[in-house]
Chains A and B, each alone.
Chain A
Amino acid sequence: MSEVTQLLRDWSEGREGARNELLDLVYEPLRLIAERHLHRERQGHTLQPTALVHELYLRFVDQRRVDWRDRTHFFAVAAQVMRRILVDYARRRNSEKRGGSMLPITLTAALDAAAEENFDVVALDLALENLAAIFPQQAKIVELRFYGGLTLDETAEALGISAATVSREWTMARAWLRRALTP
């Protein structure tokens, strides 16, 4: 059993302090993911990553039965969680009134950007699900690259395959999804 799983169990069983240890253990890498992507070019704007990290964190807690085997697997799960957040948010978006909190603004911007590139996040999610039924590895590559923000090499490392394979499979997955999202 991984440390995270053990801590989650302890926390759910009410052990004092387990929550904080968990937070330290899970929060930090999550924050790094977010900051690595969102904080690159700016100084001082930590609110956005923080809001997103909190959302990610809450979802992680829901996934307590997953054993994180190592760092790369952790990133893989993070990508999955990001995918869920995005889809959930896209579905909920119609009910948004004025963009109040920081998190919706962040995600709204992402959804708008997606719309500008002519795809719909919910449709992408469904298409990816269909792809996963036939080529699970391709779907996983898309998840890691698009939702996880991993580079080609990092994706290769996470999946234990060569970068050339990632590149080839990515090309096909992209064509597949493009076709699925073309009206």
Chain B
Amino acid sequence: MDDGPRVAAPRTHSLNAMTADPFWNNVRSLFQTAAELPRDRRAEFLDRECRDAAMRAEVESLLEAHDNAGTFLEKSIWDLIDANDPHRLAGTAIGPYRLVRPLGHGGMGTVFLAVRADADFDQRVAIKLVRGGTELIARFRQERQILAALEHPNIARLIDGGTTADGLPYLVMEYVDGSPIDEYVRELSLEERLRLFLQLCDAVQHAHRSLVIHRDLKPGNVLVTRGGTLKLLDFGIAKLTSQVSETSTRLMTPEYASPEQLAGLPVTTASDVYSLGLILRELLVYDKLSACRPGLSLSPTWRACPTPKLRGDLETIVSTALAHEPARRYASVEKFADDIRNYLAGRPIAARPATFVYRSSKFVRRNKLGVAAVIAIIAITTIAFIATLQQKRVAERRFDEVRSLAHSVVFELHDAIATLPGSTAARALLVKRALVYLDHLAEEASDNTPLQLELARAYLKIGDVQGLPYSANLGDSTGAMRSYRKALSIAQGVPADDGDASLILADAHDHIGFVEERALHWPVALREHQAALAIRSKIAHSIEGDFAQARTLVSIGDCMYVGENQIPAVQLTPAHGWYERSLQVLAHIPPSADRLRVLHDSSRANQRLGSFWTYRHDLKRALQYHDAALTGLEECMRLAPDDATARRNYADQLVMKATAQNTYGDIDGVIEGTQRALPILDALAAADPKNSEAQHDLAFAHEQLALGLIRKERWSDARAQAEQVLAIRQKLIAADPNNREDRRDMMRTYGVLIAIEKAAGNESAVAELEAKSKTISREVAR
């Protein structure tokens, strides 16, 4: 008998001090008695009462922790928040200064605006209350001489330092009234941005000559005054504090940190070069939001906007500064600045793009030849493989060479061409070919963890090309599933404490979930996504992980929303909560990380919320979310004009909005929106005929238009649209017979046609369509 879902009773009321395990119960009572005894009588007590050595060791280690617990956990988290609220400190006197208000808060402490209380004039300074103990001040005194050498017009001065009455160390710095450089450059031309950046290079170079490394270069530390003077903050401070706390990685800002900093390796001037490269890239790709609204595409302002994409020499300069290995970066900030000056003067730059993949992917990007270019690349790659295998006779060399080439093909070249329309088949070929080599290598070195992980990643990628729903794929869901399972089993074979393995594992679960969603197996999909969520929440945070997590949250929302009837009630939570959580995760990713992706992924969550609220008949809210998605995707399309996916997503969003408009009867809106979307979707489907996703999109758009036309009682127009849908869906089912979603969609299409024929009075056509619909419904139920 099915007695329905049960909600677990709250555990609070059924707890008891005891536990089921007698060992732990004994530990507990021994500890509690011993803890109340004077320390010198505990040993005697344990001699008498505890004969089990393991138990005694346990009790003794707890007693030791008890004796050393100090004030541990005595203040509740609320007390801690209260005691540390920076706003409480406003008005407090520190040395001769009085704190005015907090300016910011970071890993090192809180920065306040302060005024000198004993001065006749209003001398404003910035005071940083630093965490790190009094050692910091001792250190500060030692380093003072060095820091004094940092007198430079573009470096904010360190004025003083000391300890507050409560023993909190503080640093007094020149107060700079300006905006962070990334905000300041919004109104500047490309050349002005580069000249400003040269000021920054100057400051850093000056410090490097004094043997001081900044270590925490980021736009927030680079302010520009209204007069246009750049001031670099916090010089030497990162070093000061890193010496006295556990690791420097804890204190710096990870998104501007160099790979060696993130890895906890020694930091050199090359690390600053790297951070400068990141800042430069951010300054250059930033475009004037306000002046570049897509709606104004015909106005002169629009044309005057700088191109958002980095090209040519600037791209080379930035990527040289951003080389993973310090030795391949600019040897000094001076050399870096020289190349920018070269660029500004129109001279050839010193940096050169080096690798084969760099050249070829750049070739593809520059030459919008589409498929032809891709085929050419494959030919070159194949030759390169063969050449590598023949030339490198020495086994180890060959191993490394082949591996690095295969890696480049799978991870760099593939990604470079992924956004070109018509590249789906070529990508599959490319990845498959590389996989043969990787597979072979992995067999030779089954204990080589990085290699195994790379192989798992490659399988994920081939699975994506084969049949990852909602992206360009070959519609082979069975093959995709096989590849994902393989990735899963490889990653599971790697030691569990490997963070990379966990990320791959989570991705594999997620991707299996995506395919299951397409197959309408919602509870299975939910389980896979929840597994991914759980794995990722256990490992260290990363931007990549956040993106993945945000996507997983959307998928869980989808399971809850679309799969509502399949999911057991105890597991069911409101879908919009998951979507909103996804938006929250995305909102915490710094825009510098990957603005396009943040926009894209947020739009996806917004789109889902739009659909969700349509379904809940909160049409006002639905439209708000749909419009938010549309705005986001329009911007994506503008930021990446060559990106087929961006165009697809924009068109798709027009259609999704049309579904909402259909629901509440804005039929003119439906017709207008779908007719804007259809030419885009048509072109994409024609450019990439093997991409089943494009066909899905096209069918869906035609279908929404048909629904709108029905409401307008334009029967023959509606029929023409619905028949197009039918033709597309028939092709899709033939190509991927295991796909249940296609059949479900087909049923819906039959429903549309039946409605049309009924209204038109075609009795015989109605009967015929109903019979076909029944056949399909049996197939779906299978």
Contacts and interface: CB of A to CB of B under 8 A. Distances in A.
A109 B81 contact: yes
B131 interface: yes
B72 A117 contact: yes
Interface stretch (B98-106, B234-242, B326-334, B444-452): B98-106
B618 interface: yes
A145 B75 CA distance: 9
Interface string B48-65: 000000000000011111
Nearest to A36: B78
A64 B572 CA distance: 10
Interface in A91-122: 91-99, 104-110, 112-117, 119
A135 B253 contact: no
Contact of A38 (B21, B28, B78, B573): B78
Given A73-B12, A113-B83, A149 B78 contact: yes
Interface string B87-106: 11000000000000010111
B27 to A, nearest CB: 9
A132 to B, nearest CB: 9
A110 to B, nearest CB: 4
Nearest to B76: A149
B436 interface: no
Contact of A174 (B61, B72, B106): B72
B39 interface: no
A24 interface: no
Contact of A146 (B61, B73, B86): B73
A16 to B, nearest CB: 10
Interface in B200-227: 220
A175 B61 CA distance: 9
A109 B69 contact: no
Contacts of B65: 175-176, 178-179, 182
B255 interface: yes
Contact of A48 (B28, B85, B254): B85
A159 B15 CA distance: 8
Nearest to A37: B78
B224 to A, nearest CB: 15
A27 interface: no
B41 interface: no
A112 B84 contact: yes
B782 interface: no
A175 B66 contact: yes
Contacts of B255: 95, 97
A105 B24 contact: no
A45 B588 contact: no
Nearest to A160: B13
B35 interface: yes
Interface in A151-183: 158-161, 165, 168-169, 171-172, 174-179, 182
Nearest to B538: A126
A9 B589 CA distance: 33
Contacts of B102: 105
Interface of A is mostly: helix
Contacts of B748: none
B617 A171 contact: no
Interface in A119-145: 119, 134-138, 140, 142, 145
A71 interface: no
Contacts of A137: 15-17
Contacts of A76: 10, 12
A152 to B, nearest CB: 11
A14 B618 contact: yes
Contact of B77 (A110, A112, A161, A182): A110
A28 interface: no
A108 B87 CA distance: 13
A38 B76 contact: no
A34 B13 CA distance: 24
Nearest to B133: A116
A12 B612 CA distance: 11
Interface string B560-580: 000000000010011001001
A30 interface: no
Interface string B312-331: 00000000000000000000
B62 A168 contact: no
B19 A135 contact: yes
Contact of A149 (B19, B77, B84, B253): B77
A24 to B, nearest CB: 20
Contact of A73 (B10, B61, B254): B10
Contacts of A38: 78, 81-82, 85
B390 interface: no
A34 B82 CA distance: 10
Contacts of B570: 65
Nearest to A87: B537
A116 B83 CA distance: 12
Interface string B567-609: 0001001100100100001001110000000000000000000
A40 B75 CA distance: 15
- Quick one: which of A38, A66, A96, A109 has the most chain B CB within 10 A? A109
B31 to A, nearest CB: 6
B15 A64 contact: no
Nearest to B617: A14
Contacts of B24: 134-135
Contacts of B543: 95
Contacts of B71: 117
B68 interface: yes
A57 interface: no
A37 B86 CA distance: 16
B11 interface: yes
A67 interface: yes
Nearest to A69: B10
A128 B637 CA distance: 47
Contacts of A150: 76
Interface in A50-83: 52, 58, 61-62, 64-67, 69, 73, 76, 82
Given A37-B82, A105-B105, A174-B69, A45 B87 contact: yes
B746 to A, nearest CB: 31
B643 interface: no
A-B complex: 7 closest residue pairs judged by Cβ atoms: A109-B84, A37-B78, A179-B65, A175-B66, A113-B80, A149-B76, A149-B78
Interface of A: 12, 14, 34, 37-38, 40-42, 45, 48, 52, 58, 61-62, 64-67, 69, 73, 76, 82, 86, 91-99, 104-110, 112-117, 119, 134-138, 140, 142, 145-150, 158-161, 165, 168-169, 171-172, 174-179, 182
Given A93-B541, A134-B24, 17 more contacts: A38-B85, A58-B577, A92-B546, A94-B541, A95-B590, A97-B590, A98-B106, A114-B77, A114-B80, A136-B15, A137-B16, A140-B15, A146-B77, A149-B77, A161-B17, A172-B35, A175-B69
20 contacts: A42-B88, A58-B577, A64-B573, A64-B574, A67-B10, A86-B77, A92-B546, A95-B546, A97-B253, A97-B590, A99-B106, A105-B86, A110-B77, A110-B84, A136-B15, A146-B73, A146-B76, A149-B78, A161-B17, A172-B31
